[in-house]
Structure 1
Amino acid sequence: MKDLQSILELIRPISWGASDILRSYYRGEKQDDLNIEYKDNKGKDPVTEADLAVNSFILQKLQSELSGEDFGYISEETYQNQDGKNNSEWVWIIDPLDGTKDFINKTGEYAIHIALVRNKRPELALVAIPEAEKLYYAIKGGGTFVETRDGERKSVRVSERDNPQDLTLVVSRSHRNEKLNFLLSKLPCQNQKSVGSVGGKIVTIIEQQADIYISLSGKSAPKDWDMAAPELILTEAGGNYTHFDGTPLQYNTGDINQWGGLLASNGKCHEMLCKEAERILQDFS
């Protein structure tokens, strides 16, 4: 197999191309062609023509560029055609449009996630923020970098803030429930910043604009493609991302759902906040 650095060099231009497609639907000549549909009958899980177009573009490009390699593929828009765990050693986990509601509502806070997973853990990841025209990428053990449209690249690190009261939570506008609101209201950190898309939230931690993100499943849960790429770019930037009990996230397990409580942070108060979250939730009824 090609080395991970060579693979990264292949997928960076693919990610720029995918960003351009999304921007053409968001603000360009295709903005009236979204054709919004819903994956369920409750109108809560939208999919647009942009999701499908970028999904097709990324898969076709990866499979063309890496045609001689034995990769598996799990994508938000194609997983329903797959049966359980992908048995390939190396598996791409892709979200062509993370934050579809924000895309539709024109907040600009949407992202593209591409991760390469081995043995249930991410080894390479890229998160694109099209409206900021930035790519954030990481290889396990190599740090996290941001690249701008002009090709400039620099390394990025999370904040050093370590006083719980001074930390800022990045929260969702739409994926909220009573249990999560209860937890957030009881934590020692009460500064909050609202951002769409998981990738966008994690980028705010990497860019030192926030320090903590919490996901708490209810009737549904975030999926592998929501978490795999954001996790690696955060941890390689010095942060931490675990279940409340400290166990690592796992991907391509046969269940695409990431159940339970997950906490992403700059790492400074991570263990304490995880334990505090578990304690607070014992009082929820």
Structure 2
Amino acid sequence: MSSTLDLEHTLATLRPILWQALEQLRQFSHHVRELTVQDKGGDPVTIADEAIDAFLRHALQVHFPPTQFGYLTEETYTPRQPLPQPYQWIIDPLDGTSDFLQQTGEYAIHVALVHDHRPCLAAVVWPEQEVIYTAIAGAGAYRETRQGATRLRVQPPPEGQPLRVVLSRSHAGERLQAFLSTLGPVQQIPMGSMGCKTVSICQGEADLYISLSGRSAPKDWDLAAPDLIMQEAGGAFTYANGELPHYSCADVHHWLPLVVGHPTVSRWVGDRLQAFLQENQGYSGK
């Protein structure tokens, strides 16, 4: 493998695999009530998670052998040292399993290719919308349907309207609610998958997402793909202190508070969030 990977060719190779995964996951969605649900550290796991994970890994390894590409997936992860390969695929085969089971339609597939601890290629697949969102570092982000692709560009919030905040149905807590109350008029929009939240901001359907870790924290496979898509759409996907997340490190957890949105919003929200957490003695880095 050359030291510089052809990312356009890599995405062209990945694209039909993603469409196949989309169709497979939609087939599972038609039989949700027949799926056995297991508990994995407090999160639900089904045969759909495992089947899509296996499909993606096997399909990708035909073109990107594990001797040269690392594979970090939610369903196969075990704590270990960072993968040694120069490029690593980070995969969440079903982000938003709870929403998948509740049939809200807000679940997604995340696939990111990471180099030097930052994503260089990413895809978020929204099966119920039959849309694939893609990004290559330095080349923009796109919304792809079977009819074609359109460029994504994050817009600042409309003036004079409440700030539209997407938040988790299952992980929004009292601390986040207390902080949101300091931002003035806010419209809260409950939503499932992190990928769905991120692209809703990219498409102008929401303005802001905030993650405050508690007993748990988002992991690499939750964030890596949405991160690059937001950044390449002209948005900000950073910790509250303005730093970019890094991936495929020793710890896959992201404990620092996360702020996602248009840069003009994320900067002042990040500053206010840090001050809020310090004032409430809730900011310790984790």
TM (norm. structure 2) is 0.92
Alignment partner, residue 284 of structure 2:
none
C-alpha distance in 2, partners of 1:179/1:120?
30
What secondary structure, in the 3-state scheme, does the structure 1 residue paired with 2:245 have? coil
Alignment partner, residue 271 of structure 2:
275
Of 219, 226, 237, the match for 2:222: 226
Distance change >3 Å, CA 278–CA 162, structure 1 → 2: farther
Of 81, 84, 89, the match for 1:84: 81
Alignment partner, residue 138 of structure 1:
135
* Residue 28 (structure 2) pairs with residue 25 (structure 1): yes
The aligned amino acid for 2:37 is I
Q: What are the superposed Cα offsets for residues 110-135 of structure 1, whole Å, 9 maximum, x if unpaired?
A: 00000000111010000000000000
Aligned partners of 2:36 and 2:47 also within 8 Å? yes
- TM superposition shift of 1:188: 3.2
Alignment partner, residue 7 of structure 2:
4
Unaligned stretches of 5+ in structure 1? none
Aligned partners of 2:213 and 2:255 also within 8 Å? yes
C-alpha distance in 2, partners of 1:126/1:68?
20
Aligned partners of 2:168 and 2:192 also within 8 Å? yes
Alignment partner, residue 197 of structure 2:
201
The aligned amino acid for 1:24 is Q
Alignment partner, residue 74 of structure 1:
72
The aligned amino acid for 1:140 is A
C-alpha distance in 2, partners of 1:5/1:102?
32
What secondary structure, in the 3-state scheme, does the structure 1 residue paired with 2:151 have? strand
The aligned amino acid for 1:55 is D
The aligned amino acid for 1:103 is F
Alignment partner, residue 34 of structure 1:
35
C-alpha distance in 1, partners of 2:69/2:147?
28
- TM superposition shift of 1:34: 1.7
Aligned partners of 2:156 and 2:265 also within 8 Å? no
Of 181, 206, 209, the match for 2:177: 181
What secondary structure, in the 3-state scheme, does the structure 2 residue paired with 1:251 have? coil
Unaligned stretches of 5+ in structure 2? 282-286
* Residues 155-164 or 7-16, more deviating: 155-164
1:36-115 to structure 2, matched below 5 A, reads 36-40=37-41, 44-67=42-65, 70-80=68-78, 83-115=80-112
Aligned partners of 1:170 and 1:193 also within 8 Å? yes
Alignment partner, residue 154 of structure 1:
150
The aligned amino acid for 2:122 is A
Distance change >3 Å, CA 183–CA 88, structure 1 → 2: same
1:208-219 to structure 2, matched below 5 A, reads 208-219=204-215
Q: Identity of counterpart residues, as a percentage?
A: 43
Aligned partners of 1:224 and 1:257 also within 8 Å? yes
Q: Give aligned pairs, total.
A: 278
- TM superposition shift of 1:96: 0.2
Aligned partners of 2:67 and 2:85 also within 8 Å? no
- TM superposition shift of 1:65: 2.0
Aligned-residue Cα RMSD (Å) equals: 1.7
The aligned amino acid for 2:60 is L
* Residues 178-187 or 118-127, more deviating: 178-187
- TM superposition shift of 1:98: 0.2
* Residue 254 (structure 2) pairs with residue 254 (structure 1): no
What secondary structure, in the 3-state scheme, does the structure 2 residue paired with 1:250 have? coil
- TM superposition shift of 1:189: 5.0
Aligned partners of 1:187 and 1:277 also within 8 Å? no
Distance change >3 Å, CA 139–CA 220, structure 1 → 2: same
Distance change >3 Å, CA 68–CA 48, structure 1 → 2: closer
* Residue 11 (structure 2) pairs with residue 15 (structure 1): no
